[in-house]
Amino acid sequence: MSVRRRHYRDPISGAVNESWTVDVDFRHADGRRERIRRISPVSNRRGAEQYERDVRASLLAGTFGRKESANFKEFVTDRWLATYPASAGNRQSTTEEKTSHCTIHLIPFFGRYRMDQIDGELVARFFAHLRQAKASGRVRSEKTIKNVRATLRRILASAVEWKEISTIPELPKVKVPESQRDFYTHEETERLLFAACRGEEERALLMFAVRTGARAGEQIAFEWGDIDWHRHEVVFRRSSTRGVVGPTKSGRIRKVPMTAGLEATLRKVKHLRGRLVFSTMDGSPLTIDQLHEHLWAVIRRAGLRRVRWHDLRHTFASQAVIVGVPITQVQAWLGHSSITMTMRYAHLAPGSGNNWIERLEIVPSQRHSDGTVGSNQGHSLVESRS
């Protein structure tokens, strides 16, 4: 008999209590036997018999003993946001971005589902929903969709690592069209720095951006102690995001050599207002809005098209590639973690390889030992252009 009633005495009160237990001897499809003994949550025969049927059904389905997966909203709010960004060392701005993705997009859609209910079909419906929102103007761009995708994937990956679910469902790929990056030419930069700036401090503020490729946050947090006057280079150690100072975006220190013009300008503006190189008159840090105010005032006086502060970083990178600086060196100066990011500027390199292609038609015997090419009196390796 698989359902039994038993009596036991409470050790504290001495009262005699009754309980019903189920004892199930189950044979799995692979021949393995499993015996389950449990106390019925309902203490009467009918309840115990129903509980026995439930146990057998869950054994048949292979779900017996498996805890119910957490609700998506509870998992994200109570566990993931409270744990993952801090454990991963995310910057404040990154944490705020992930929180925004969860609050605005992910929780409203997935919130009522259990984590183990999030499958490929549900994920596909979510991305269809995002693109409908983009069409109506509620989502700004494919880049936003890609960033939300990255946050969702990280949540699901954490759920696998924390044994909440077993696998990550397939997420649709999101391709972001390459955006146009504006930058000033050398002539426009000269107008900006030498024809329109009023005073050496204003010139130093803009020259530093276009001669070092500093990010706005790195420039705001830049200190006099970060200038190596002996080696003629600047050292980026930290960055400021909404007033909070932390490591650089890549988490690494990087060095950029100073041009003679930048070094001379920085020497002229050395002040005693505090440790920050670029600050307000009382020595307090600048904000990104104040950087833009300075930039746009000079742009108006120079009669140039309006650009963002970050475009001064694009100006530095673009001009470096144009004059022939190797792309790997530009990568190091910019602090890009991947060469793929720097390759966005590769098309600006002089010749872009066109001046090398003709060397394919030179007979190897015409090459000198030093790698130069002599007069080609033999036949070309391939047909010459008519």
Query: Mind listing the pLDDT tens digit for each residue in 83-127?
Result: 999 998 888 888 999 999 999 999 999 999 999 899 999 999 999
The pLDDT value recorded for residue 385 is 41
The pLDDT value recorded for residue 304 is 97
d(CA 349, CA 149): 34
The pLDDT value recorded for residue 374 is 55
Q: Does the pTM of the predicted model rise above 0.85?
A: no
Residue ranges covered by each domain of the chain: 3-61, 72-161, 186-348
The pLDDT value recorded for residue 109 is 96
Burial 243-269 (b: 16+ CB within 10 A, else e): eeebebbeeeebbbebeeebbebbeeb
When the candidates are 3.40.640.10, 1.10.443.10, 1.10.3430.10, 3.40.50.720, the CATH number that belongs to 186-348 is 1.10.443.10
Per-residue tens of pLDDT for the chain, all 386 residues: 588 888 777 666 777 778 888 888 888 888 888 888 888 888 888 888 888 888 888 887 766 666 678 899 999 999 999 999 999 888 888 899 999 999 999 999 999 999 989 999 999 999 999 999 988 888 888 999 999 999 999 999 999 999 898 899 999 999 888 777 899 999 999 999 999 999 999 999 999 999 999 999 999 999 999 999 999 999 999 999 888 899 998 889 999 999 999 999 999 999 999 999 999 999 999 999 999 999 999 999 999 999 999 999 999 999 999 999 999 999 999 999 999 999 999 989 887 566 666 667 766 666 555 555 554 443 433 333 43
- ∠ CA 292-297-302, nearest 5°, is 120
Count of other CB atoms within 10 angstroms of residue 296: 14
